[in-house]
Structure 1
Amino acid sequence: MIPDSDIHAVIHLSSTAVYTVVGYFDVHHKKIQIMGLGLAKTDAFFGGQIVNREHLLSAIHKSLREAIDMAGVQVSYVGLSFASPAMMGENGIQDKIITGQNPTGDTLGRKINHDDVRDILNDAKVGLAQKGHKDVQLCQQRFWLDDDQSGKDVVGMLAHKLTVGYHLISVPSMFYAQIKDLMVSNNLEVHPMFFDGITSSEYALSSDEKQRGVCFIDIGAALTKVCLYQEGMLLYTRCLPVGGQLVDMDIASTLGLTLLEAESLKKHHGSANASKQSKSDFITLKKRHHDSELTVHLYKLASIIEARYLALLHEIFDELTAKGLDQFMDMGVVLAGGGADMRDLPSLIERQFGVGVRQMDINPKVAVHTELLSDDDIGLLKTHLSDPKLHSIIGALMYYQSEQYARDERGQFGDLDRVGFFGRVGQKCQSWFDKLRQLL
């Protein structure tokens, strides 16, 4: 029997659907076991904005009900994963003087405890209110003791001053309140909230990639999420209001097609790298709602697609370069999302930016918990898990039970009761600290 405290539910809001997954971490097999999954198609949260509150409420309820009915459990609190261009990600450093006294009354340092870490991280959030923002997620990076380099865990160590580097993600306070209200209206308490880019990274990236330096780019229907890691630490996040649907709109407006025709043409004949497309190739396209045909020059089609992807990629890489973060990409780029499933996109990135690229693979650390499930539900879950489109929601459950999340929660809320996290990630890199102090 699995203890209820080990079972978690996570809801993911995307531009095309609401997903809910219920599962737990199997310590023995080192895998996430999926017990239930719910899916409600909707565009009520399109582009990271609440477009239709009532429709979104209904989709959340339907998705959650499907998942918990399949899993045979009840939940009153959930994790929530989402992304929005309104999100702001920033690196920071915060200090705290550690005081104690000896019998003569002299001020001394002392052993650091969880309260010290919690206080310093909470202090990091204080300035958000003045900006009209509320924190969604805070990820610890590194600690310094008395200005000397340290590691990722300093509780119990002696120091006069504690310094922490962190990455803080926030949204406007009113937007945060609206998201919370959606959950409350479904009789749910939300904890924690996650940035979709981080949870997707948990599914898509290996620990070696995060250690050596990698840029994760997740291109969805209406949004693109970006995360940069080095030495196992999150250094950069961004959510851009650009996705695969903009490519469809460019094709439709240029060639005089409907969005459905443009999307079909892109999927079956498109290329993101015009240099890979012969200039002598044409196809005849039968239009859906007219008794007419259209001759399409495939090189022109590839040029339209390439232009939109290059505009997006330049916005990403130009900012990384401006921030001095392009030096932390030894493992190149990992692509995910339906919008990244575009023929010749990796070769375009390699040609234009000179970095290696790979497409996300199905994560082998995810399995179906077959106990108490019907054969139909087992078959349905296995089909879902073979679909890379579910990387965001599965990644949210994986991150919920990850080492990074455990460390961040200990820092902000004290010791956790649950155990069974993924193996520790991290090795010291002497040059890293100097680079981080310069950046922050």
Structure 2
Amino acid sequence: MRTQVVIIGAGPSGLLLSQLLHLAGVDCVVLERRDPEYVLSRIRAGVLEQGMVDMLERAGVSDRMRKEGLPHDGFTLSVTDTRLRIDLKGLTGGKSVMVYGQTEVTRDLMDAHRARDGKVIYEASNVAPLDFDGPNPRVTYDKDGTSHEIACDFICGCDGFHGVSRASVPDGAITEYEKVYPFGWLGILSYVKPVDHELIYANHPNGFALASMRSKKLSRYYIQVPTGTDVNAWSDDAIWDELKIRLGSEAADRIETGPSIEKSIAPLRSFVAEPLRFGRLMLAGDAGHIVPPTGAKGLNLAASDIHYLSEALIEFYGENSAAGIDSYSQKALARIWKAERFSWWMTMLLHQFPDLGPFNARMQQADMDYLASSHAAQVSLAENYVGLPY
């Protein structure tokens, strides 16, 4: 088989890239090692930046998001005794975010691919990107007991942190930067009405908590737990009780409780691989970087990679110019590091750190007091939260 671009990974970033390339007339094939049901079963982010909303509209997959998504004009921060609503729309000149689950974004992209008979090969095992350091890259894989090979011009690795794309790069070609945090987020999903119409981020002496939602009837809550915590050690009742404590009395009086339909623990880490281009192999999304979920930058950062990468490939085929390909890594990393800084800052502000003690608590309160008293600080927070320009 021959195509112009092979995309490894059929998560939202890989499918979004494929959709944008298809609309521009660029031929591509997507390889995914899992089946579609597994891909859709992954519970992930639910807050979309304005830039990603615009990209989904350009890709022609925004109809259901516009009907079912929840536009948010602000959110609330709560640190110790200070509670502050950040007016995103007012502080950024009209920008906001959209609450719409990553699972739903993926479903919409899958539907679009099926409608146009897009080339997505699920349950492709032993995927191997090869010869990407020269002009004739190729990708091999196994499917139903048969080996296959795809010749191509470019390979795009959208296969996540543990995927084969970054692992295929020669030793020494990548510089990795990483910070692992000593805690995770225990998340609970339940068919109950959200406690508030906007998100609440809270830092309590017991630890971080987040009140979020997937719809007007489906709520997503998180609490900070130590690394190594067993999810089965927390009953639903224990999680609800802890949420009421950490979110504060105002939220506790309104919170609805119910049985969980999903519970899981997500570890927190910051990670960046540099560069993101290796000859004719480009990394995008979690294959190249990870951010803590604080601030909701993971999926959105993948989307900005896809923005730069799709434009570069469309320029290459439409204008016979490699300028965008040559600058992809530099452009993407400039935005990645800004998002890494923002996610790190929000993580430091909102979590209890076991090794920092009372001094860190004072710094967190001072940071929160400054936010509450400074319009400029609130503008900076809002500008980062809705998403920096591409």
Taking structure 1 as the reference length, what is the TM-score of the superposition? 0.23
Taking structure 2 as the reference length, what is the TM-score of the superposition? 0.25
